[in-house]
Structure 1
Amino acid sequence: MENQRPLILVSNDDGIVAKGISELIKFLRPLGEVVVMAPDKARSGTGCALTTGEPIHYSLVRKDVGLTVYKCSGNPADCVKLAFETVLDRKPDLVVGGINHGDNSATNVHYSGTMGVVIEGCLKGVPSIGFSLCSHEPDANFTAAGPYVRDIARLVLEKGLPALTCLNVNFPDTQELKGVKICRQTKGQWTSEWENFAHRGDNHYYWLTGSFVDEDADQEDTDHWALANGYVAITPTTVDVTAYGMIDELKTWF
């Protein structure tokens, strides 16, 4: 139908009961019909991982006018693939991941299940956005992010995004946002990533932890600088990982 409302597919990696996805649904509902397919429990750090060793299952959680919610036993990327294959009656106009509890700036984009949602949507040719807040608190305050989430999603619905390009949007944990900064990904790496956790006399148990070393701390065009200074950081992100600048050089090697 020509007057169909936009169809928005939503997922996350914190699980169906996380406050972040509930807030995201609330912010997006005025923009179109929302279908949610989210993991049945938290699956943070799964990136684009797929479930291949066992079947996955989904079930209906809630159905209202303009909103249908499902939960799925798989990973975030599984949720997107399964939604396209089973519950959507047409190709969505937008895929949205989040709102994640914890930022996905800098190299975190590679590990993030939230961005796994976004990358999968992008690979399927749908404009896709990931939203994250710099707070891991279960009851984090998403109020200030709401108008930005709605405006960014509305603009992407209107204008679209280039092929194989998605948006990684991060919010500082403050109610006094200064506006938007369009950023590049901060360069850096995680260090001291494991903490020993002796268990019943066995010292070979470890918890994943770590500290991020920011190699661009004074660079005002990065996502970390924007977040540290109270701005919403929007980083355009490509899923084509080809190093085009290296192609001609490699041709001389072989």
Structure 2
Amino acid sequence: MVCVPGHGRGVDDIVGIDDHGLDRTNKDGYQHDFAIQVAEHGLAAVAIEPMAFGCRRDPKAAKQGLGHSGCQPVAGAALLLGQTMIGWRVYDVMRTIDWIETRKELDVGHVGCMGISGGGTCTTFSAALEPRIRAAMISGYLNTFCDSVFSLSHCIDNYVPGILNWAEMYDIAGLIAPRPLFAEAGEKDDIFPIEASRASFAGVTKVYETLGAAGSFQYETFDGEHSFHGVKGLPFLAEHL
């Protein structure tokens, strides 16, 4: 399972490492060390550091502390080159799967991808574009562009110029069909409004139903804020991988 963190301290937030670089036993933060939870459900977890997060920030951003994002200068540079941060992060996921293919202890025929928030963004586009991803879990992201990144203040790494001329977020997620997909959303999420998440879930459901794969898309809403939940999603991944 390729595990992609959201904004915060980078990969440390999902593998049980605290602010001092030491192991922690309590699953703190909104990401709740979900890569460790993946392993606890019997799957191999390959946790990656997204570009401009954690140890992949530029020196200026790194000096401002562990939680300071380095997205803006990198995402801006991508736009100047006619590219996007999302595209670069998807490329990272694809190259990670290339690496998995070289590992005898890992099975490239059963690769999944998952992430929360910005990691959910990366998961959505990666699973839509990379057929080697056999199952995916999107946490705290699947919504509508109109109700989230178009209407609320979000990091620049969420934006793909012109995408609303062609597709909504559920259209992108629909490209994952008929492969297994699980999505979850907190009912008190203040940056990805729950009603828009429900609308997006309905849109994705229609795609799966059209392809005769209704059972391969499942979702959960939970009583919580913008955070990883995993109660139904992790068993779903374990079942399908």
Q: Indicate the TM-score class for this superposition, using the shorter chain for normalisation.
A: 0.3 to 0.5
Bigger strand share? 1
Q: Which has the higher helix share?
A: 2
- TM-score, scaled relative to structure 1: 0.35
